[in-house]
Chains A and B, each alone.
Chain A
Amino acid sequence: MLTFTLKRLLSGVILLIAVATATFFLAHAAIPDPTLGLLGSAATPEAQAALAQKIGTDRPVIVQFGDWITQLVQGNFGDSWRNFQPVSEQIATKLPVTLSVVTVGILISAVLGGVLGVVAGLRPNTWIDRVVKAGAVVLFALPGFWVALVLVMLFAVQLKWFPAVGYTTPEQSFGGWVQSITLPAIALAVGAVVMIAEQLRNAIIQADRQDYVRTLRSRGLPQWRITVHLLRNAAPASLTVLALMFVGLLSGAIVVEQIFALPGIGALTQGSSQNGDIPMLLGITVITVVFVVIVNFLLDILLGWINPKVRVK
């Protein structure tokens, strides 16, 4: 298990270095002169020159890369070119917002998708299964932004149960926090619920056809114990989907954060991209890759714990 863990960690570090390097040069190639975007309409030649000197873009790109990578290995993401505040501090204030929404969205997806998947999988081709399948097709076809807008119009603008926009921290008000992330999390979860339900349903049906299940049934085991066995075999595929969903929802959060005006990583990415704030974009990329590596690492550990056969493989 130790070798397995070390290998995983090493591949994660290699992935991180490769993505960070590629992103650095791609960003600098795509934004050859960031001073224009950073200064906007006040971009006079004098102001551009002063800003270029301040942020160091008057130096060769390779020198800038050397500085950036040296800072990065020391855990320093540098300063934003937009407001000259440390990138890490700004990401630290935005990350909890995105993680709140994505984590709650994943929890909703896991619980609802799990329940629906199990119910449908245990009763294939019954009316419940058909309802779940039909519902899955309909919900999966709905664009996420449309679902978000409908939720806002109904529950925020009309009923006023939830705020239409904005974010409240748990420290300010736990109730306010729940209110501010409920609709965004549901909007994010809708697509994920049906994917997980569908995945789990199919996996349970497949596992239910295995010889060992027939044997268990012939021994007169109660259904709930058979279900536990089924879940152990069906769970890996669903957990993999769930992990992929988590990564996918991190990027999907951009749209939801925009619709609900949440100050998360999505909004930060969009703003930084428009302004040409390369250090911020690089910081966000590195953090995202770290999360992807961590989630995949945890998934491997979890799968190994649920199903020892995975470890052997």
Chain B
Amino acid sequence: MTLHADIDASKLPDYSYDFRSPLWWGIVGLMTVEGTVVATLIASFFYLQGNHTAWPPAGTSPPELLLPTLSTVVLLVSMVPVYLTDKAFKRGDPKPLAWMPLISIALALVFLGIKAYEYASHVDFRWDTHAYGSVVWLMIGFHSAHVIAVIFKTLVIVYLARRRYFTPEKRIAVTVNGLYWYFVAAAWIPLYMTIYLGSRIWS
């Protein structure tokens, strides 16, 4: 049998970047799934509000704004080193990958520390006090678990970078980790607005 060849794939690269890579679509899929979870949590928050004359319910004071706003700024700033790392790597400079994400991790740890302090001593309700407590604690727990997960993931990336694993062809792994970092930080914005501003505006 004779076959005709007209495409020689050996001339094509064996790596791909950005939206050309399946991994990029995989992480976008994951972010869509988790974004739907965030949307469901927010919808539940406002649905449950409809059942109450006061929100947060009577006896619970509205959240303070200073600490959470501060921690939100810290979390948003943590995106900058991730962005600069990815940008340097795109230019062909792999050196920042070995240290710059550590700044982001430190900032994320500050964020988690403020959250822990806030919920240990600054709120006067528990998860089993009322529906408001349940939905707020679930939002905080859900988001904190993601911050911890993305910290672990980034530590693995930095370790591999220090072992010189990442050649420019493997850039997609760094890009994808960066995308997930942006997602974890950005998903906090609607959660912050819901918990801290939403509770105050309609209380």
Please indicate whether A and B come from the same complex rather than being unrelated chains: no
